[in-house]
């Protein structure tokens, strides 16, 4: 039976390249000359630690981060920007987790959306992967098209397509 896996993975090398491009651009920008800006990627925990002189400069760093990441092929949804920045002395800091994998509650939402759509597919949750199986490839393609319209804040990839 045809199947595919719905995943949300971030390639560590691509993420590292995007961070390096952002760091290089920020150090070369005139409005950041002499400013304290730190962009640090914790590869083990998939977290970005951002520091800047002011909240405005921190927001500019985040804007550059998102635009450069998209040019590297990463979706903007991989960054969890929900945490508020906090003041630490004269410096504003922000911790930005990178979403890698589908959380259990998000996987349940995906399964519910697929089942509520009435498509003739079977859905199974396997750790941080959602496997979709159907009798026809056309049904799988319908699921892929439908998943592009969901606003869950998750960057989906479709891998392991088998016919």
CATH numbers and ranges of domains, the chain: 3-8+101-162 (3.30.70.860), 12-97 (3.30.70.990)
What predicted TM-score, i.e. pTM, was given to this entire model?
A: 0.82
Residue-wise pLDDT tens digits, 100-158: 888 888 889 889 988 888 888 889 998 888 999 989 888 888 888 888 888 888 888 88
Quote the tokens at residue 16.
């590292």
Cβ neighbour number for residue 13 with a 10 Å cutoff: 8
The per-residue pLDDT for 155 is 84
Instruction: Check if the beta carbon of residue 113 is closer than 8 Å to that of residue 121.
Output: no
Quote the tokens at residue 134.
């159907």
Task: List 6's β-bridge partners, or say none.
Answer: 130, 158
Span 25-47, average pLDDT: 91
pLDDT band at 52 (very low <50, low <70, confident <90, very high): very high
């Amino acid at each position: 039976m045809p199947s595919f896996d719905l995943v949300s993975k971030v390639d560590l090398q691509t993420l590292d390249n995007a961070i390096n491009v952002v760091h290089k651009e920020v150090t070369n920008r005139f409005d950041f000359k002499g400013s304290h800006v730190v962009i640090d990627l914790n590869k083990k925990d998939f977290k970005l630690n951002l520091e800047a002189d002011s909240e405005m400069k921190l927001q500019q760093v985040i804007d550059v981060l998102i635009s450069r990441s998209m040019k590297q092929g990463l979706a903007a949804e991989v960054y969890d920007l929900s945490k508020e920045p906090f003041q630490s002395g004269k410096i504003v800091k922000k911790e930005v987790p990178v979403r890698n994998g589908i959380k259990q509650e998000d996987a349940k939402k995906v399964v519910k959306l697929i089942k509520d759509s009435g498509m003739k597919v079977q859905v199974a949750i396997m750790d941080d992967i959602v496997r979709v199986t159907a009798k026809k490839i056309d049904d799988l393609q319908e699921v892929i098209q439908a998943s592009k319209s969901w606003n869950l804040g998750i960057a989906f990839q479709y891998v392991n397509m088998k016919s």
